[in-house]
Structure 1
Amino acid sequence: MGRSGRVAIPAVDRRGIANLETHFVSPEVYRREDVAERQARLAELVAERIIPQLVKLHSEVLPEALPIEQVVEALAPSRSDISGLAHVVLGSDLEAAAAYVLVLRDRGLAMETLFLELLEPAARHLGQMWDNDECDFIDVTLGVARLQKLLATFNGSHVLPDLDTRRQVLLAVTPGDQHYFGATMVERFLHASGWTVETAFDRSAAEIAHAARAEWFAVAGLTVGSERSLPALQDTIRQIRRESRNQMIGIMVGGPLFTANPGLAQEIGADGTAANAPTAVLMAQKLFDEMVLQMTN
């Protein structure tokens, strides 16, 4: 914040913002006549339903933690922070949303912290609301797309046009596993959020790795349904990393095992996990951004 008290806005011009709008949302979403109404309604849902749950989560997961008011004073995003972001990010002014997040970042919060404490929880709860029929697919797509745009804006991946066509995901089910439903939902949300998705269902580990070698992918996503499939999943991850055309490929995993124990993802060699399809979209963007940062450093 400068001497005038105004918040600095990241270098995203209005033409760039317009490009981002089509970059992170599949065009058919905007063919709906009620998009603006849906955006406003979803912002209200996030503010009124999601934010109280996030504040409650703070005290339930950390029963001995300081009161939420003291945590806010210690720089953690507050209920009003997240509520305000919900209304801004689901509107049409990406500049305003970027400025809002800058306020939080300038308090000293790293983007990794903002991802874990602000953006990812919001995406996760959007997914839960969709599961509970409290909002529909279009609503969640619009919300997650704007969360993606904030990540790309602050991590700088939106300013690299040569990478625009490389937001590609290889999506597979662990060999021997028959749990396709979750992977199908992830595919649907990724596509609606502007990703190009190739599926490799009913493939062996060698065939999945061959697909990663035959075409360049930024991210590989793998789902698993049971603990007995973990060795096959770990072997598939090793083969993808060894043979992938993109040697900096990000690998995310999903399934009930990782929902119960998120730390298991890194134990078996993945880079991250997501609790549901909307958070998988956000995780894919996070891994893409990290890859871009490595490529440009």
Structure 2
Amino acid sequence: MSAAERQAERLESGVVTELAREVVRRLAEHPKRTQLTDHHATAAEVDTLVKALLSDRHAAASDMLAGLQADGLPLSEVYIGYISGAARRLGQLWDDNEIGFLQVTLATSRLTAIICALKKVFYDREGSPRRRALFAACPGESHVMGVSMAADLFRREGWEIDLEIGQDHDELLMAQHLGDYPVIGLSASSDAMILPMARFIRAARLLTPQALIYVAGEITHQHADIATTVGANGVLNDPVTALAQIASALERN
């Protein structure tokens, strides 16, 4: 096992355990909640959905929600009344030590898949989804010129790039959750950014598991194995070669 892989394992012990708790809370705090009709699902209905999410049958929860839609319940009410309620309930069960890490991770991944299927409820994008990316400075990062220049270059090549600078972990994670970006470029300049970067990448993996995540910035010159350390798909050494690198990865993906 390489030094980078050993460091990644050490990061896992401090990051992944907190991750499941964090994601279920993020799913329950959607910022457009007030814009959607609120269906007041009963506690018993929410508990039924939670049991389905934790059950041995993979499709139990999605089948339950599909049944509600077939009965005429609007998608927005399914999301707000049931899914947000289940996310909050999972958080409570986790806090009270009534379910373990593997259970909350399983339920969260299923809930995330359902949310992806309902994403048209809270946003709608036009155009090709493959030439979209989120470029961001790592939470806590103050060196932002490089990522800004990279965003400009990609835009000139026809990419739809959303640039996030100065966002904290929660804000950046919510941007990825709402945007469902197929590509993420995360810029960092120093060792102090390794833990925040690893924490964000692992959270983003749960929300958008198919996304290609790349590390850029001075950190890539300081640590040749930084992608392995933080769980990224690779590094971007410069904006020019990054265009071809990402395009090739999307084709393979």
Superposition TM-score, scaled by structure 2 size? 0.47
Superposition TM-score, scaled by structure 1 size? 0.41
